[in-house]
């Protein structure tokens, strides 16, 4: 079953996931990250979507499940190219799961159009595939890019823990 990106209304990511899961619908994935927030003079930690405005769902077909997804409150549309829903590679979803569950905080990162594709072969993100980038302070980062959304997420990696991918 392929993964699809679902475009949702701003700040409706969690509601869409809860609605779809509550109806025993498709498997969903909402990658998040922790960040500090200050509201009404109170500072605390909150979870934010890594890709604001998007939720991922695994759909077995695009007939009835697609209609059920599109009827969920807050859903805008399935991400499409050329009038056809665009699929998200299993490897991308697996890599996102690895980096959001890792010990270092994943953060939203601007989309990179250059850089070598690498596979992490050591350390806590072993198995993740992405592009190598130089982060703040020129430290290397693994950037997992979701090109169909024009978004990316980055985590720090040691150069000795990556190798060129296939």
List pLDDT tens digits, range 113-131. Answer: 457 888 888 888 899 998 8
Which H or E run contains 20?
helix 13-22
- For residues 84 and 79, the model is more confident at 79
Whether pLDDT at 37 is above 90: no
- The pLDDT > 90 percentage for the chain reads 33
Length of the chain: 166
The rounded mean pLDDT for the chain is 84
Q: What is the pLDDT of residue 5?
A: 94
Q: 0.85 exceeded by the pTM? A: no
Q: Where are the domains of the chain?
A: 3-88, 90-164
Q: How far apart are CA 78 and CA 16, in angstroms?
A: 13
Encode 88-126: b = buried (16+ Cβ within 10 Å), e = exposed: beeebbebbebbbebeeebbebeebeeeeebbbeebebe
CATH H-level superfamily of 3-88: NusG, N-terminal domain (3.30.70.940)
pLDDT tier for residue 28 given thresholds of 50, 70 and 90: very high
């Amino acid at each position: 079953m392929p993964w699809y990106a679902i475009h949702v209304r701003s700040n409706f990511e969690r509601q869409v996931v809860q609605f779809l899961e509550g109806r025993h619908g498709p498997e969903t994935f909402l990658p998040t990250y922790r960040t500090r927030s200050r509201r009404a003079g109170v500072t605390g930690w909150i979870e934010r979507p890594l890709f604001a405005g998007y939720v991922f769902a695994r759909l077995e077909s695009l007939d009835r499940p697609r209609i059920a997804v599109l009827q969920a409150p807050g859903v805008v549309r399935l991400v499409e190219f050329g009038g056809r829903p665009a699929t998200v590679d299993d490897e991308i979803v697996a890599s996102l799961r690895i980096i959001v569950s890792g010990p270092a905080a994943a953060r939203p990162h601007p989309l990179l159009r250059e850089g070598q594709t690498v596979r992490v072969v050591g350390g806590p993100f072993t198995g993740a595939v992405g592009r190598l980038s130089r982060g703040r302070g020129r430290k290397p980062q693994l950037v997992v890019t979701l090109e169909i959304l024009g978004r990316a997420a980055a985590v720090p990696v040691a150069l000795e823990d990556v190798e060129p991918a296939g």
